[in-house]
């Protein structure tokens, strides 16, 4: 009963003219947003042990969310929200002497792998951006930090058609074939960070009174994998472009 009274009182206050404008400065708007993330997890400098990226496949990296914006006048404002999104990548990579840990059959192996790797990465997350905005004609320029909490983590792959030097670059040579039972697998999903943060910059473009399109660049500042995990020696950063649409009300 007390909870119901509190809710009704809050609704009554919000219906009073000027109440919302007295609590929240400026004009307030909301945007429902749907978008697609295009990018991957990559080191800032490509190590010499990665010889080439032979293929890259798109994954279902979708974003759904809502943003609230406050316009303070003279074009300036602030925007924040909550986004449910997936960021992933699937790629085939050629390596030479790349430090790896893998399982072949029942044998756990660690060493330096030369051959091909098929890698799959996917993460479902809740992301909260906090952005400064500036209105410029039909465009709203926006930039600021974001933080993500990962709800599901997946980092796994297949090593094949090569060999592993066990222990060190001149260690015993173990053949890694290209058939089931000969290839090797790895799964580092538990080593993916549960929280990530980074920077976002982009723009929303109004097409009509309510509808618009958006383009953003998201650059992770924290590596995908935990700093205590040393099997993958290079820090991998999530770098994604986001293309989408929104409805403003």
**Tens of pLDDT along 191-211?**
999 999 999 999 999 998 899
- Categorize the per-residue pLDDT at 1 as very low, low, confident or very high, splitting at 50, 70 and 90: very low
- Categorize the per-residue pLDDT at 7 as very low, low, confident or very high, splitting at 50, 70 and 90: very low
Instruction: Examine residue 139 and state whether it is found in any structural domain, yes or no.
Output: yes
Instruction: Examine residue 9 and state whether it is found in any structural domain, yes or no.
Output: no
Give the domain extent around 129.
26-248
Instruction: Examine residue 110 and state whether it is found in any structural domain, yes or no.
Output: yes
Higher pLDDT, 92 or 230: 92
- The mean per-residue pLDDT over the stretch 60-79 comes to 94
pTM for the model stands at 0.82
Measure the CA–CA gap between 113 and 159, rounded to whole angstroms: 8
Q: What is the domain-level CATH number for residue 168?
A: 2.40.160
The secondary element (H helix, E strand) that includes residue 179 is none
Instruction: Examine residue 49 and state whether it is found in any structural domain, yes or no.
Output: yes
The pLDDT value recorded for residue 118 is 96
Class of residue 135 by CB neighbours under 10 A (exposed 0-12, middle 13-18, buried 19+): middle
Residues 6+ apart with CB under 8 A from 81: 31, 33, 65, 66, 67, 68, 128, 129
Q: How many domains does the chain have?
A: 1
Output the six-digit token pair for 189. 């999903």
Instruction: Examine residue 184 and state whether it is found in any structural domain, yes or no.
Output: yes
Q: Among 158, 166, 157, which residue's Cα sits nearest to residue 183?
A: 158
The pLDDT value recorded for residue 14 is 40
- Categorize the per-residue pLDDT at 26 as very low, low, confident or very high, splitting at 50, 70 and 90: low
Instruction: Examine residue 213 and state whether it is found in any structural domain, yes or no.
Output: yes
198 bridge partner residues: 146, 220
Locate tokens 């978008």: which residue?
Answer: 35
Instruction: Examine residue 18 and state whether it is found in any structural domain, yes or no.
Output: no
The pLDDT value recorded for residue 104 is 94
Instruction: State the chain's mean pLDDT as an integer.
Output: 89
Instruction: Examine residue 76 and state whether it is found in any structural domain, yes or no.
Output: yes
Higher pLDDT, 121 or 25: 121
- Categorize the per-residue pLDDT at 157 as very low, low, confident or very high, splitting at 50, 70 and 90: very high
């Amino acid at each position: 009963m007390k909870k119901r009274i509190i809710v009704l009182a809050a609704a009554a206050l919000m219906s009073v003219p000027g109440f919302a404008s007295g609590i929240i400065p400026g004009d307030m708007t909301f945007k429902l947003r749907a978008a697609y993330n295009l990018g991957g997890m990559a080191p800032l400098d490509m190590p010499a042990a990665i010889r080439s990226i032979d293929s890259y496949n798109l994954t279902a990296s979708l974003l759904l969310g809502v943003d609230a914006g406050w316009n303070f006048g003279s074009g300036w404002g602030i925007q924040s929200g909550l986004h449910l999104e997936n960021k992933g990548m699937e790629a085939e990579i050629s390596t030479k002497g790349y430090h790896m840990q893998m399982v072949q059959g029942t044998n756990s192996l660690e060493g330096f792998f030369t051959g091909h790797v098929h890698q799959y990465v996917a993460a479902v997350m809740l992301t909260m951006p906090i952005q400064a905005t500036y209105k410029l004609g039909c465009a709203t320029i926006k930039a600021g930090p974001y933080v993500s909490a990962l709800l599901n983590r997946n980092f796994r792959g297949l090593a094949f058609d090569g060999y592993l030097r066990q222990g060190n670059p001149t260690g015993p040579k173990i053949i890694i074939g290209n058939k089931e039972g000969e290839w090797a697998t790895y799964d580092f999903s538990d080593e993916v960070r549960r929280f990530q943060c980074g920077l976002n910059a982009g723009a929303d473009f109004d097409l009509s009174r309510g509808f618009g399109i958006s383009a953003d660049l998201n650059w992770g500042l924290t590596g995908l994998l935990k700093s205590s995990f040393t099997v993958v020696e290079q820090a991998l950063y999530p770098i994604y472009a986001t293309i989408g649409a929104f409805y403003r009300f």
